[in-house]
Every structure is written in structure tokens, then in C-alpha cells.
Amino acid sequence: MNTRTNKLNSEFKRLIVEILTKKVKDPRITEMFTVLDVDCDKELSSAKVYVSVFSTDSDKAAATFAAIRDSEPIVRREISKCMHIRKVPQFIFISDTSMEYGQKIDKILDEINKKDND
């Protein structure tokens, strides 16, 4: 990936977080979330946005992610206002559950270690 794309990915990530936290007023966004990464293609036609929602309630987490996904037009509009680029990509929000998966693995390993120690 070239330097320009890396810079754009970084700027998109920063702006998406800012827009979602400050400008999107969707009442379904009740849980804490983070944008882990943005991966834009060379042509700037689309960008994958990896989002992780932190919640103990899976229904609230799903509602928060749905609200984030549904806010894509607002995010595009706000980014086009503040960035001076010819084309703003379509953002495809992807739920990233790798942290949740890692926690499950850690829990399983802890249980195995406890059984070995007993």
C-alpha cells in the first residue's frame, strides 16, 4: 500500500470516530465502540471500516453496530465537507469480533491451566 493511501486511511479513521461520537445522534448508539482500522482501495471507491463494539449485552451491541452502519451517508457527507479530496469512498462497516474471540481463547486457556494445576 502506498503512503497516500496509508495517510488517507489514518485520516478517515480519525474523522469517522469524531463524526460518530460528535455528529451522529442515533439513540441506538448506547455502547462503547472503537474503529480499529480503515482499509481503502486504490481507486477510493470503497473503504472497509473495522468496528469493535464493547458490551456485555449482545442485543445492545448489535443495535449500536446497526446504527453505526446506518450512519454511513452522514459519515460520507461530513468527510466530504472537511477533506479536500476529489472522491470520498463508500464506507463498508464490518463488525470486528477479534477482541471478543481473543478473550474467549484466554478464558479457555485459563480453564485448562487450572485443571492442570489441580
Dihedral class, residue 44 (left if φ above 0, else alpha if ψ from -120 to 50, else beta): left
Number of domains within the chain? 1
- Mean pLDDT, the chain, rounded, equals 90
pLDDT in tens, 71-114: 999 999 999 999 988 889 999 999 987 777 777 888 888 888 88
Interhelix angle 72-82/3-22, nearest 10 degrees: 120
* pLDDT higher than 70, residue 1: no
Q: Are 18 and 55 in contact (CB under 8 A)?
A: no
Phi, psi of 88 (to 5 degrees): -100, 125
- What's 39's domain CATH number? 3.30.300.20
For the sheet with 46-54, list strands across it: 32-40, 46-54, 90-95
Domain that holds residue 81: 3-117
pTM: 0.82
pLDDT in tens, 20-49: 999 999 999 999 999 999 999 988 899 999
* H/E segment holding residue 6: helix 3-22
